[in-house]
Amino acid sequence: MASIKSMNFDHLVGQTVGTSRLLKKLDNGAMSVVFVAFQKTLKRQIAVKILPKVLLTPRMAELFQQEAEAAAFLSHPCIIPVYEVGQTDDFLFFTMQLIKGKSLSYYIHKARRHILPSKRMLPVKTSLTIVLKILDALDYANRMGIVHRDIKPRNILIESHSQRPIITDFGVARSYSSSSNDSRILVGTPTYMAPEQIVSSIVDGRADVYATGVMLMEMLCGGLPYPPYDSAVKLLKIKLRLQDRLFSKTPSQVNPAVDGDLNDIVLKALAYNAERRYPTCRDFANDIEAYLQRPRKPNAPAEGKIDGAKHT
């Protein structure tokens, strides 16, 4: 079977899809490709996500439709808006807002390459500001009955002019009331996957709490202090075996700018047992907000920037 990476999409440039004309390819995903397009009806540039029918399996079609429906159902400044869903003879598609910016993973990796070891992680206040906005969006989605299930830096776009984080890729999102049976299918990304996702398809917003906690730890540490592993399957087994001993170091052991109070917040979000985790994304955010409102200690770091723009 063909793969998305082996396919050539140059012939689609200039074609009309729905109300839009495709201008150029923007990005490749695991099962789809994204184009920049011009929406003729509203005279604006948008993004069009395409899934070729040659790659289509019933499960992939379900995930693609699920992503469009979940994102279209939600309305939040930090969740990607979806405009139109449809299909042609050759592919399924949906159109969405074109975000001008880069993924959070880009900024994490860029910082990791800094010549100074102390600069190889994102600034603490910047990281917390980004995560607060993500948690607000996830709390809204969870309250609307949608669990994202695949929060990770690659699925967070940082808008260039506003520095607003925007959640994308609801391809494995699931409604609390969903009747679809994917209990035999492991969904999510192993690095950020909550332990309960490994052993059960029945998850709630605490899975998004866990994934956001992993992402925050990565931002604060410049990486994830996992034990060595050589495959995704091995990482999943390590998660189940080591439980709360999964990470070899805490954020405060890696980053001197992280104090004990922030360390405790991150570790609570990462609790192996969902019952000991923050019960909701709002509770996670509340502790971060309370932490940020505390008087700054004399040696605390100043607010940082990402890509030259200050967070507000």
Helix, strand or coil, per DSSP, at residue 206: helix
Q: What is the pLDDT of residue 48?
A: 93
Helix, strand or coil, per DSSP, at residue 202: coil
CA–CA separation, 244 and 41 (whole Å): 53
Dihedral, CA of residue 33, residue 147, residue 130 and residue 273, to nearest 10: -130
Tens digits of per-residue pLDDT, 208-245? 999 999 999 999 999 999 888 888 889 999 999 999 99
CA–CA separation, 305 and 160 (whole Å): 12
In the annotation, is 136 catalytic? no
Tens digits of per-residue pLDDT, 119-141? 889 999 999 999 999 999 999 99
- Which ranges of the chain have pLDDT less than 70? 1-2, 30, 171-187, 201, 296-312
Question: Which two structure tokens, joined as six digits, stand for 174?
Answer: 């699931």
CA–CA separation, 47 and 25 (whole Å): 10
Contact of 154 with 171, CB cutoff 8 Å: no
Kindly report the backbone phi and psi dihedral angles of residue 241, in degrees, each rounded to the nearest multiple of 5, phi listed first. -80, -45
Dihedral, CA of residue 279, residue 103, residue 163 and residue 39, to nearest 10: -110
Q: How many CB atoms lie within 10 A of CB 200?
A: 9
Q: Which domains does the chain have, with CATH numbers?
A: 4-97 (3.30.200.20), 101-310 (1.10.510.10)
DSSP class of 278: -
Helix, strand or coil, per DSSP, at residue 78: coil
CA-to-CA separations, 30 to 33, 51, 143, 182, in angstroms, rounded = 8, 10, 28, 19
Residue of 90, 136, 150, 287 marked active site: 150
pTM of the model: 0.86
- DSSP assignment of 84-137 equals EEEE-SSEEEEEEE---EEEHHHHHHHHHT-SSGGGSS--HHHHHHHHHHHHHH
Question: Which helix H or strand E contains 50, and what residues bound it?
Answer: strand 44-52
Question: Which two structure tokens, joined as six digits, stand for 247?
Answer: 């990470």
Contact of 254 with 220, CB cutoff 8 Å: yes
